[in-house]
Structure 1
Amino acid sequence: MRVPSKSLPDGFDKADHPLYRVALSVWRGFVFVNPQQATAGSAETSFDPASGDLANWPLETLVSGHVLRKVMNCNWKIFWENFNECLHCPGVHKDLSRLVPIYGRGLMSRHDDPDWVRHADNDAPEFSGGLRAGAETWSRDGHAHGPVLPGLTPAERAAGQTYATSLPSMFIVGHVDYVRTVRLMPLGPEQTELTAEWLFAPEALAETDIDNVVAFGTQVLEEDAAICEINQKGLRSMRHQAGVLMPEEYDLHRFHNWVRERHAALEATA
């Protein structure tokens, strides 16, 4: 790529004006690009240590079955805040809360309940997490629409969803019959492009109607996008000064600290 000039000034050497170099890292079939040429770590080390382990999912061999692209009128951090709590789930995600009953209680895991000790031995999904009785995966009917991916443990199958998060740009969710990826690209202070992709085993994609799966995941993302846009409008209120975190929003606190640390690092190098 170059400017199509018909002549060059005296002493001008094209080698002195190359394209900007970027850092590139390949992890399990995914290509991560960092605009900074020199960056510490790799794609693998960028994942949140508290994330789930996707080692048993055959990520390298899966193929794309559907892609959703959507521009959200909100800052990218608003979406990540939404991702890190489920207080909004009962009111925003009616169908998801029926599929994952603990979400219907506004909780993300057993220990989010201040009274969890009373239910410590209760394995019902509204207390322990996981999908409702009889459900296998995230789909409109709760059923797997294709063969269960080999190599998953009984616990991974029972969980219904396993999240791996790589801030600030993406998260991956492993289900028993497919994998979802969601990528975020800031377009400006109040716009973010969301790209979601559904990945399946090649043989499953050839034989399976994936509409039941894609429709459910799309519904959840559309619901999240809508509430994030409402939150963004609230931040523009002349009366707004600051928010308050609730105990269930401990992962928001972790996220806020992550952002503060990155800002401090940038200021230190400025």
Structure 2
Amino acid sequence: MPGLRESYTVARGDSLSGIATTEDVRGGWQRLYAANRQIVGDDPDLILPGQRLSLDVAKARGTARKPAAAAPAPKRPAAPEVQQKREAEPRPEKTAKPQPEREAKPQPEKTAKQEQKKEAGQEQKKTVRSDRASERVEKSSGFSAPVAARTGTPYRQSGSWSSGYHTGVDFPVPTGTSVRAVSAGTVVSAGWAGAYGYEVVIRHGDGRYSQYAHLSALNVRAGQQVGGGQRIARSGSTGNSTGPHLHFEIRTGPGYGSDVDPLAYLRAGGVRI
């Protein structure tokens, strides 16, 4: 029953959403965070073991507790179904029908103005071909940004995280935004990850790992091969999240605590971000 315990001491592996569920905190993890913000700090994503949190959220906020029916305990969102792609069946190539040869008709001499238009058209075609060639060179690098958006909370910003700093970079995007693999690799994990909500972790050919967190839908499974730029999920706000965004990390190992600068990694691969 609510109110039996006045406080809770954070243990390793705890999250605000998990504590709110097990302790039946009225108002969920958001109310628990608001009541203990001075202890937790500005970001609720990663709380620290040993912190003593008040469970009396009404008293901590300075308001009287009103009698009300107990709210049902929050449930973990159901795991999103993996969306599978169907390969298009190859269509038989159409054989062009032979056309009868036509005799060339004599053409009037072209004026200087027509010649200038022709040269201008040729220059424009050269420019288009050059632009397309540049696109092919950029795509051949095999690297791409995880989402088409500007960055938010930067890497290594100091704060109340267990490491003392932000281990990745955030991209503020609406829920449902396509999330793409930054380069080819193998999916190491795809599913629920506590404070990170739904996440995907990919191992790349250079030995680095990329992590995509707070997702709303998954398009891949563990063990699946993916290509650079392939959609792997959709962004969301699951886990300990203050709003819709993508949390993105580059790591030397599959787990938390082996992070490196994610933007420096992408830029080294030719991504403009």
Q: TM-score range by the shorter chain?
A: under 0.3
Tell me which of the two structures has the higher relative contact order, counting C-alpha pairs closer than 8 angstroms and 6 or more residues apart.
Answer: 1
TM-score when normalising by structure 1: 0.26
* Bigger helix share: 1
- Larger-Rg structure: 2
